[in-house]
Amino acid sequence: MKSRLSLLILFLTLLIAGLELYWGDAWEHQYLLWEFRIPRVIGALVGGSTLALSGVFLQTLFRNPLAGPFLIGISPGATLAMALGLFWAEQQWGWLLGTTEQILLALGGAFLALLLQLGLARKHSHPYQLLLVGMVLSFVFGAATDLLQNVASAERLKMFSLWSMGSFERVTLESLPSIVGLFIGLLALALMISTRMDAYLLGDLYAQSGGLSLKKTRHWMIAGGAVGAAWMTAICGPISFIGLVAPHIARELLTSASHRKLILHSVVWGAFLATTADFLAHHLMQQQLLQVNAVSALIGGPILLWSLLKKA
């Protein structure tokens, strides 16, 4: 029954993606179709799946179903690094940030946020304490970003504001191979270490008694979680809730504790949430483009709240 539901969601995802491709007179303007709409639709499908994989890595790493790229500070850390690059490096030294520089900056900010979390986790291992620490880090990174915006020039501020709205519109034919390659790599990594994550989730003593290298497993999950979230944040801007909600839904629906099943179901739900948010952002209001980041929060927030209240 659960597998059938995920198959239905997969069908709906492909249906929404196909509807978006055929919407309006897109096929009459081949240049716009191939240069903008097709990369955006594929970007939403693959980007949502990548954020879901990042969420799986992080929720297993912290043994916390509420851990996600946004809540534990990874996406805000990447955003702060982008702000530093736009408002300071370019202004002070005249650096021009291309796609490669943006990805490197976002990766640096994401890893910094995650390393801070892991350093604090050594003394405070309770899941709710870690979650609160992550939320505080998010607020701190957000406050620092706001301060940088106050001293930025109008041109830089406009560039950053457009980027921070979050949109799959920024996916181009040139950046599409890197996104698809990243997703394939993260999916292969997740499936490869899925049995290790099964053991890791049961606790350090159980994992070590089974001969599992905790250090190596943590390193793989850190890399997968941070790289996935940072890479998508650099290219598309911050997209909230998908990395948190997609694995959460999959975990709620599955009766099995197998990470292999969780990974595949999370990928489907991540693609569905991202594609739906992108579709609604473009067509919910006539002649008005909404922020994908805001739409994904409006979709994911109530789902997460309902799940938490159901457990209470």
Torsion angle, alpha carbons of 102, 281, 299, 249, to 10? -60
99-121 and 127-150 are packed helices; what angle lies between their axes, rounded to 10 degrees? 140
Q: What is the pLDDT of residues 244-269, one digit of tens each?
A: 999 988 988 887 778 999 999 999 99
Could you give the CA distance from residue 307 to residue 196 in angstroms, rounded to a whole number?
27
Q: What is the pLDDT of residues 189-207, one digit of tens each?
A: 999 999 999 888 888 777 7
- Residue predicted with more confidence, 155 or 122: 155
Could you give the CA distance from residue 233 to residue 178 in angstroms, rounded to a whole number?
13
Cβ(245)–Cβ(72) below 8 Å: no
Whole-number pLDDT of residue 125: 54
- Number of domains making up the chain: 1
Structure tokens at 85: 């690059």
The SS3 call for residue 285 is strand
Cβ(245)–Cβ(273) below 8 Å: yes
- Residue predicted with more confidence, 57 or 85: 57
Question: If you ran DSSP here, which 8-state letter would residue 86 be given?
Answer: I
- Residue predicted with more confidence, 146 or 189: 189
Question: If you ran DSSP here, which 8-state letter would residue 26 be given?
Answer: G
Confidence of residue 51 (pLDDT cuts 50, 70, 90): very high
Instruction: Count other Cβ atoms within 10 Å, centred on residue 7.
Output: 11
Q: What is the pLDDT of residues 211-246, one digit of tens each?
A: 778 888 888 998 898 889 888 888 888 888 899 999
Whether the predicted pLDDT of 93 surpasses 60: no
- Domain range holding 165? 2-306
H helix runs in 62-153, sequence order: 74-84, 90-93, 99-121, 127-150
Confidence of residue 15 (pLDDT cuts 50, 70, 90): very high
Mean pLDDT of all residues belonging to the chain: 83
Distance in angstroms between the alpha carbons of the first and the last residue of the chain: 25
Confidence of residue 104 (pLDDT cuts 50, 70, 90): confident
Cβ(183)–Cβ(49) below 8 Å: yes
Whole-number pLDDT of residue 25: 64
Whether the predicted pLDDT of 300 surpasses 60: yes
CA distance readout (Å), 208 to 14, 205, 215? 42, 5, 10
Whole-number pLDDT of residue 111: 83
The DSSP code sequence of 161-173 is HHHHT--GGG--T
Q: Is residue 154 part of a domain?
A: yes
Could you give the CA distance from residue 54 to residue 129 in angstroms, rounded to a whole number?
21
Q: Is residue 97 part of a domain?
A: yes
Query: What's the rounded mean pLDDT across residues 169-175?
Result: 87
Whether the predicted pLDDT of 6 surpasses 70: yes
Strand spans (E) along 217-303: none
Whether the predicted pLDDT of 127 surpasses 60: no
Question: If you ran DSSP here, which 8-state letter would residue 64 be given?
Answer: -
- Burial class of residue 166 (count of CB atoms within 10 Å of its CB; 0-12, 13-18, 19+): buried
Q: What is the pTM of this model?
A: 0.88
Q: Is residue 26 part of a domain?
A: yes
Whole-number pLDDT of residue 169: 87
Whole-number pLDDT of residue 36: 84
Structure tokens at 82: 């982008």
- Residue predicted with more confidence, 131 or 270: 270
Q: Is residue 312 part of a domain?
A: no
Query: What's the rounded mean pLDDT across residues 110-131?
Result: 70
- The residues, ordered by sequence, that sit 6+ positions from 178 with a Cβ below 8 Å of its Cβ are 231, 235
- Residue predicted with more confidence, 251 or 130: 251
Whether the predicted pLDDT of 271 surpasses 60: yes
Portion of the chain with pLDDT greater than 70, in percent: 89
Whole-number pLDDT of residue 183: 96
Q: Is residue 44 part of a domain?
A: yes
The SS3 call for residue 209 is helix
CATH of the domain at 203: 1.10.3470.10
Residue 250 amino acid letter: A
Q: Is residue 106 part of a domain?
A: yes
Among the listed residues 240, 99, 92, the one whose alpha carbon sits nearest the alpha carbon of residue 182: 99
Q: Is residue 20 part of a domain?
A: yes
Q: Is residue 311 part of a domain?
A: no
242-253 and 259-283 are packed helices; what angle lies between their axes, rounded to 10 degrees? 130
DSSP bridge partners of 288: 285
